């Protein structure tokens, strides 16, 4: 992701028109999904820095969605905290150019905002508990 994004942004610098990059990320590590969440946390830091570094040529949006109803979680119920992918995409596109961070959906923004108030150890312990209870899935 980093290599590909760098290639794109370097090409964008020579286009003469404004461009955009949206990277799917996560702000917080999850217990029980260690490697996956670590890569998404890397994407977060990388994308946020790129948004500042390339602000003159491109809009770089860091997208941090929560649960989304997909074929990977077919038993999940569609709702405020688990929207359809098109709703998250619409939210990200709405935020593109006006924000550097998007959660894609109001329910995800509420969760992201709320998690930000928790101490990191509690946030990690809570994620492990919720994964064990089946609220979150690896």
Per-residue model confidence as pLDDT tens digits over 10-61: 899 898 899 999 999 999 888 888 898 899 999 999 999 999 999 999 999 9
Q: Quick check: 128 and 134 in contact, CB under 8 A?
A: no
Classified by CATH at the fold level, domain 2-6+17-132 comes out as Rossmann fold (3.40.50)
In the chain, where are the structural domains located? 2-6+17-132
Cα-Cα-Cα-Cα dihedral sign, residues 42, 47, 49, 53:
positive
What is the rounded CA–CA span in Å between residue 6 and residue 28? 24
Mean pLDDT of 122-138: 75
* pLDDT over 50 (residue 134): yes
pTM score, whole prediction: 0.89
* Burial zone of 117 (CB within 10 Å; 0-12 exposed, 13-18 middle, 19+ buried): exposed
Task: Identify the bridge partners of residue 96 per DSSP, sorted by sequence position.
Answer: 99
At 65, the pLDDT band (50, 70, 90 cuts) reads: very high
- Cβ atoms < 10 Å from Cβ of 133: 8
The percentage of residues in the chain with a pLDDT greater than 70, rounded to a whole number, is 96
DSSP 61: E
* Interacting residues of 111 by C-beta distance below 8 A, sequence separation 6+: 66, 81, 103
Q: How far is 30 from 15, CA to CA, in rounded Å? A: 39
What's the pLDDT band for 138 if we cut at 50, 70, 90?
A: very low
Q: Which residue has the higher pLDDT, 96 or 132?
A: 96
User: Residue 137 has what pLDDT?
Assistant: 54
The single-letter DSSP state of residue 38 is: H
């Amino acid at each position: 992701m980093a290599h590909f994004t760098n290639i794109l942004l370097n090409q964008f610098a020579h286009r003469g028109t404004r461009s955009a990059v949206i990277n799917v990320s996560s702000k917080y590590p999850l217990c029980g999904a260690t490697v996956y969440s670590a890569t998404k946390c890397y994407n977060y830091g990388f994308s946020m820095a790129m948004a500042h570094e390339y602000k003159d040529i491109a809009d770089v949006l860091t997208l941090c969605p929560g649960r989304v109803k997909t074929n990977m979680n077919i038993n999940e119920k569609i709702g405020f905290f688990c929207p359809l992918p098109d709703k998250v995409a619409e939210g990200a596109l709405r935020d593109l150019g006006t924000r550097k961070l998007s959660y894609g959906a109001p329910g995800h923004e509420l969760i992201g905002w709320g998690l930000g108030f928790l101490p990191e150890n509690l946030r990690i312990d809570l994620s492990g508990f919720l994964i064990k209870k089946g609220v979150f899935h690896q």
